[in-house]
Amino acid sequence: MDQLRLRADSADEMRAIATDVIAPHVRAGDLLILSGHLGAGKTTFTQGLGDALGVRGPIASPTFIIARTHPSDVGGPALIHVDAYRLNSLAELDDLDLDTTLDDSVTVVEWGEGKAEALSGDRLHVRIDRERGGELDMSNPEGGMREVIVIAHGSRWDGVNFATPGAAPSPGVAARAGDLG
């Protein structure tokens, strides 16, 4: 399975990965599963994706709400932002009825690894690893290096090249290895 590895050294760079590298290829029906330790930048990534999709914000962690819908302000798909951290099983995730909105929205599930894969065989898994001892707060411009690893699953992503023109990362976002295309 192909992977894309990127580096983000700040919150702006994390948002730029979502905005410039991932968002140009995302469409209604797509599922993104985000994983990473507390403070890795999952919500920051989702903020960048939401900005690029033109959805109503602000985008904040839905930890206590579990799921939040951000409708499009530009006629595109809504963004469904889910935090599965407090969910203990696939059955609890199923209770959210995400399958009823999956085809019409872009669905992002934070802490979804091991829970949300059953929603779709076609998905992107975005794993964000924070350097040991790195600062927890991504809003701090000196927040510490993050490695963002994007793994595509399913035929939906066959042939998608995240390095195509118009999807190049912003200055400062360093590709470390690999390409999904």
Taking the C-alpha atoms of residue 145 and residue 130, their distance in angstroms, rounded to an integer, is 6
Rg (CA), the chain: 15
Residue 50 burial by Cβ neighbours in a 10 Å radius (0-12, 13-18, 19+)? buried
For the chain, percent of residues with pLDDT exceeding 70: 70
Structure confidence at residue 179 (pLDDT)? 44
Q: 3 forms bridges with which residues in the sheet?
A: 151
Q: Where are the alpha helices (DSSP H) in the chain?
A: 11-16, 42-53, 90-94
Convert the pLDDT of each residue in 18-62 to its tens digit: 999 999 999 999 999 999 998 899 999 999 999 999 999 889 887
Spatial separation of the C-alpha atoms in residues 60 and 40, rounded to whole Å: 14
From 147, 152, 160, select the one nearest 33 (Cα to Cα).
152
Confidence class for position 95, pLDDT limits 50, 70, 90: low
The per-residue pLDDT for 174 is 47
pLDDT in tens, 127-170: 999 876 544 554 554 457 899 999 999 999 998 888 754 444 44
Which region among 2-16, 91-105, 143-157 has the lowest average model confidence (pLDDT)?
Answer: 91-105
Residue 132 tokens, joined:
């040991």
Domains of the chain, first to last = 3-177 (3.40.50.300)
Percent of the chain at pLDDT above 90? 44
Instruction: State pTM to two decimals.
Output: 0.81
Q: Which two tokens stand for residue 73?
A: 């302000």
d(CA 42, CA 138): 10
Closest CA to 44 of 124, 113, 153, 143: 143
**pLDDT value of position 117:** 85
pLDDT category at 106 given cuts 50, 70, 90 is: very high
